[in-house]
Structure 1
Amino acid sequence: MNLITDIYPLNEISITIVFGDEISLKLADRIAEFNQALIASPFSGFLTTIPAYASITVYYDPIKVYQSNLNGSSCFDKVSTYIRTLKINTSEKVKQPDKVIIPVYYGGKFGPDIDLIAAQANLSTAEVIQIHSAASYRVYMIGFVPGFAYMGGLDKRLSTPRRQQPRASVPAGAVGIAGEQTGIYPLDIPGGWQIIGQTPLKIFDANRPEPALLKAGDEIRFEPITVEQFRTLS
């Protein structure tokens, strides 16, 4: 039993598999388990998967799928039937998440919204930094722009709505909060998250073999650094 709640065609080269309607570690683990099984036993024409909060989108080569001996008359029928009958080996260990430490300089010109968050939570700025950096975060999905990691695990005391007026430009490396999520801007782009700090790491670099530093499933910890360390790492 793979606990799929729905499968629907996204376009002519992909389908989306839905596993639930919530954001939780339990559901994220279920998605990771299924994703691992599909990658280990791909169907003819399989290309890649993109995990999200409660779903996985599967991309495929429609010509190879249509020419395959998979059951079904259309590409969607063939792929969805295969997906629904895919066996999950529950005794096989799911790959442990990669652990990534992100150095962050909090506050000042790099974190213009941290005092606002502190005031709303009735905390000091130092307490906001301590709370944010003490938690362990799970990357649930990559989206919005290349390399932008949506992370769950934020302490509810720091939960803050997006800015009513988004900024015209947020620098690459900016660490922000939106609702009960935290994230890092990979590029210089407009954005409405509340910015509390910045990392000197390149979150996205098109010249790297793997352009995005983070991926769905990673476990993230933030480590406070001084401005001198920020300059050195930069």
Structure 2
Amino acid sequence: MTQANTFPLVRTVGIDGLLITFADTMTEPSNRAALAFRNVIDSQGWTGVLETSASLASAYVRFDPLLLSHADIRSRIDRLLDEQNWYNAPLPSGRKLWKVPTVYGTDLAPQLDDAAAAAGLTPAEAIRRLSQTRVRVLTIGFAPGQPYLGPLAPEFDIPRLKELTPMVPEGALVLAISQFVLFSGPTPTGWRHVGQTAFRCFRPENPQAFVLTPGDEMIFESVSRDELEDIKAGRAESAVCQEIET
């Protein structure tokens, strides 16, 4: 099922990869399509498929050309694309909803006021809207286990900063271009630091080091600084997790 007679677009990546792109920008439907399509490919169990992944609006398939010819996998991909409208396909099952306590603003997240002004809102209204928004893990990338989350409401389609912030800590919630990123480790960034959590996206000590999976959902609930300190001290949970019913 194509969109505007252009998408989905299937392109070759090297000698052993195909990239299936559902739009040239991230939207809820294009991300839904990428996640759903990747999930269905995984469920097929095709011999010769070595790896799949999904980005903001694309799915990637890597295959062994000695076991699965380019013509064969391209034919299979095309048949799958024609089976349904992927832009309203069901999301993968087994997804989780994470409710993450978050301090907005203060010296812990000092760019909240700037982000609110860029969105045309008061800081209090920005906090109210951001803390009540349920966002999807659109993709994992940039750093181990690190999620891009969204989409946020149109007023939060604000640009990145023109200069880098030298460092934000692990658990920083940053905002730009209608998305959140929840940092999995200390890093410089051009995104606005609007919230601070105690959530660890990357836990190398665990068998499943990446805590989040594309398709999971998150709510960053506003809490006080004292509550965040209790979480850091181990007196409260850094997140509440539940299965999403399909």
TM-score range, shorter chain: 0.7 to 0.9
Offset of residue 124 of structure 1: 2.6
Residue in 2 that maps onto 1:197: 195
Consecutive unaligned residues in structure 2, runs of 5 or more: 233-246
Matched, 1:10 2:7: no
Matched, 1:35 2:35: no
Q: In structure 2, do the counterparts of structure 1 residues 119 and 85 end up closer, same or farther at CA, with 3 Å as the change threshold?
A: closer
**Cα distance in 2, alignment partners of residues 2 and 122 from structure 1:** 37
Residue in 2 that maps onto 1:107: 105
**Cα distance in 2, alignment partners of residues 117 and 67 from structure 1:** 51
Alignment RMSD: 2.3
Offset of residue 144 of structure 1: 1.8
Q: Secondary structure at the match of 1:200?
A: coil
Q: In structure 2, do the counterparts of structure 1 residues 43 and 191 end up closer, same or farther at CA, with 3 Å as the change threshold?
A: same
Q: In structure 2, do the counterparts of structure 1 residues 210 and 157 end up closer, same or farther at CA, with 3 Å as the change threshold?
A: same
Q: In structure 2, do the counterparts of structure 1 residues 93 and 138 end up closer, same or farther at CA, with 3 Å as the change threshold?
A: closer
Offset of residue 82 of structure 1: 2.2
Consecutive unaligned residues in structure 1, runs of 5 or more: 69-74
Contact 1:100–1:219 at 8 Å: present in 2 too? yes
Aligned residues with identical type, % of pairs: 26
- Counterpart among 51, 55, 69 of residue 52 in structure 1: 55
Contact 2:156–2:176 at 8 Å: present in 1 too? no
Count of aligned pairs between the two proteins = 224
Matched, 1:82 2:79: no
Offset of residue 94 of structure 1: 4.4
Describe how 1:144-223 pairs up with structure 2 within 5 A: 144-223=142-221
Residue in 2 that maps onto 1:120: 118
> What letter is aligned with 2:103?
Y
Residue in 2 that maps onto 1:20: 23
Offset of residue 28 of structure 1: 2.4
Offset of residue 89 of structure 1: 7.2
Please, what TM-score do these two structures have when normalized by structure 2? 0.81
Q: Secondary structure at the match of 2:128?
A: helix
**Cα distance in 2, alignment partners of residues 16 and 107 from structure 1:** 39
Offset of residue 228 of structure 1: 1.8
**Cα distance in 2, alignment partners of residues 139 and 185 from structure 1:** 13
Offset of residue 122 of structure 1: 4.2
Offset of residue 187 of structure 1: 1.1
Please, what TM-score do these two structures have when normalized by structure 1? 0.85
Q: In structure 2, do the counterparts of structure 1 residues 58 and 2 end up closer, same or farther at CA, with 3 Å as the change threshold?
A: farther
> Which stretch has the larger CA shift, 105-114 or 209-218?
209-218
Offset of residue 133 of structure 1: 0.8
Note the alpha carbon deviations across 1:131-153, whole angstroms, 9 max, x for none.
10111112221122222211222
Note the alpha carbon deviations across 1:15-72, whole angstroms, 9 max, x for none.
2112222322222222233222211112112233211122101123x2xx4135xxxx
**Cα distance in 1, alignment partners of residues 56 and 179 from structure 2:** 12
> What letter is aligned with 1:52?
S
